[in-house]
A and B are shown apart, each in its own frame.
Chain A
């Protein structure tokens, strides 16, 4: 905990130094700060196997701050979250606009793979549903993918014929390592300073993503990504050395009048050395799995929207890496309604049925969330 606070303080100092150096003499610097707030109340109908492992009645408030500062060809993006169980700097990146179509970022950023994280980040108000899909859940919430990287990110958008465009993202940096929590294994995401740490807790990660946008000013897109990350596993007794995780996927967002459909399908490979029971050696295993989600939304009125989502993971049953994440959601079906009111506020009502990695008993949950954006 003390180490975590120290790291947060270091990151805050880094943010202060970067922003001061970049913007102190700037009469023309532009900046904006937004505040996201949300409160979620959840009632779970837990089977006996999960009683004590999860809260039956959960009430969780959180606040997220987003900062966007610009001066000349440079910009800083900041995203921080404080909730009942964490305080974390989620995004801290310094960007250089190489030219109007390409930007090079340095710092801690969201891994640009997939559709969900690139679009919604930590802005719960922006996502129609309350919950993120399990396959792209954040590291400290039971996720198994590297959602935060520390290093360099190059991104750009090139116009094509008509109104279209091609967007690309290339990320190179360090990814997470496996740590422990009360709920089992959890990924420890790198901080903005991880790249400079002497002790290499975090290892190489790279992602490439390309997407075609039929109308660059609209939200429809179709894309592909490939990501490879080396994850140190010192905390896992049954895995020796590092795990190499490779994921390849396709994602898309399609809209027609009041209907919107979006989702991601990905194939993942874990290469790992697994300890052999009662022996000193280990066995090299290369295991494949697939996961994905699809969400459909229907705009009933300008204020009301109905939505449903299906999530599934296949082939993870024999994967020691996935098995160590007890809170990973391997299956979920959810149905919900969102009501937008006043100015940038939303109420979301959701019912879901989910299955965790540990325990084959699915459980139902009903939840209500208020989320807002103040800017």
Chain B
């Protein structure tokens, strides 16, 4: 059987090629940003400080200890943050936090799977920071973007 003069193996190949190339066309370009409360003083954090912060290590700015809030409201935002900013798998990251608390005590960064609670705690604590998609952050009131953490295509 032929379609438009092409034999079956040929048009099957064309469909496969189209699917392969079109998948990149569907890839979504998104930016992950670090956000804080609108009432927070101007905050500058280096890549090292952000990594220290979310690994539970102390980071102090203007005499105040910065408190990281882990955004796990969607698996994607959590996974992209760990892969692109912390450079660890979720399993490895959580194990490191647990081992650290076991060795030295102290509070582990709080993990939130409810966006309402996350945003409420972020707005109430001027020393708290979290991460979220840039378009999400721009839609939320009373928070501000500190810096862009990562930008790229998500397949």
Contacts and interface: CB of A to CB of B under 8 A. Distances in A.
A159 B57 CA distance: 10
Interface stretch (A119-127, A130-138, A319-327, A357-365): A119-127
Q: Is the interface of A mostly helix, strand, loop or mixed?
A: strand
A66 B101 CA distance: 10
Interface in B99-119: 99, 101-108
Q: In this complex, which of B65, B91, B102, B108 has the most chain A Cβ atoms within 10 angstroms of its Cβ?
A: B102
B149 to A, nearest CB: 16
Contact of A217 (B52, B60, B91, B98): B52
B81 to A, nearest CB: 14
A374 B56 CA distance: 21
A163 B102 contact: no
A100 B99 contact: no
B48 A162 contact: yes
B105 A118 contact: no
A99 B58 CA distance: 9
A100 B60 contact: yes
B104 to A, nearest CB: 7
Interface in A116-163: 118-119, 121, 123, 126, 155, 157, 159, 162-163
B96 interface: yes
B49 to A, nearest CB: 9
Nearest to A375: B98
Contacts of B104: 103, 155
B102 A100 contact: no
Contacts of B107: 30, 70
A173 B101 CA distance: 24
Given A32-B101, A100-B58, A126-B99, A75 B52 contact: no
A119 B96 contact: no
A103 B52 CA distance: 18
Contacts of A165: 57
B105 A95 contact: yes
Q: In this complex, which of B51, B60, B98 has the most chain A Cβ atoms within 10 angstroms of its Cβ?
A: B98
A66 B55 contact: no
A162 B106 CA distance: 24
A127 to B, nearest CB: 11
B102 A66 contact: yes
A162 B98 CA distance: 24
B129 to A, nearest CB: 15
A118 B103 contact: yes
Given A163-B48, A163-B51, A217 B57 contact: yes
A157 B52 CA distance: 12
Interface residues of B, number: 22
Given A101-B58, A216-B57, A217-B57, A77 B105 contact: yes
Given A68-B101, A217-B96, A75 B106 contact: yes
Interface in A138-197: 155, 157, 159, 162-163, 165
A262 to B, nearest CB: 14
Contacts of B55: 216-217
Interface in B55-69: 55, 57-60, 65
Contacts of B105: 68, 70, 75, 77, 95, 103
Nearest to A118: B103
Contacts of B103: 118-119, 121
Nearest to B57: A216
A266 to B, nearest CB: 20
A219 B99 CA distance: 10
A165 B57 CA distance: 11
Given A100-B60, A217-B57, A217-B96, A126 B102 contact: yes
Interface of A: 30, 32, 34, 66, 68, 70, 75, 77, 95, 97, 99-101, 103, 118-119, 121, 123, 126, 155, 157, 159, 162-163, 165, 216-217, 219, 302, 373, 375
Given A68-B102, A159-B48, A163-B51, 9 more contacts: A32-B101, A32-B108, A34-B102, A101-B58, A157-B57, A216-B52, A217-B57, A219-B96, A373-B98
23 contacts: A66-B102, A68-B102, A68-B105, A68-B106, A70-B106, A70-B107, A75-B106, A97-B106, A100-B65, A101-B58, A103-B106, A119-B103, A126-B99, A157-B57, A157-B58, A216-B55, A216-B57, A217-B52, A217-B55, A217-B96, A219-B96, A302-B91, A375-B98
User: 6 tightest A-B contacts by CB?
Assistant: A100-B58, A217-B55, A77-B105, A100-B65, A75-B105, A70-B107
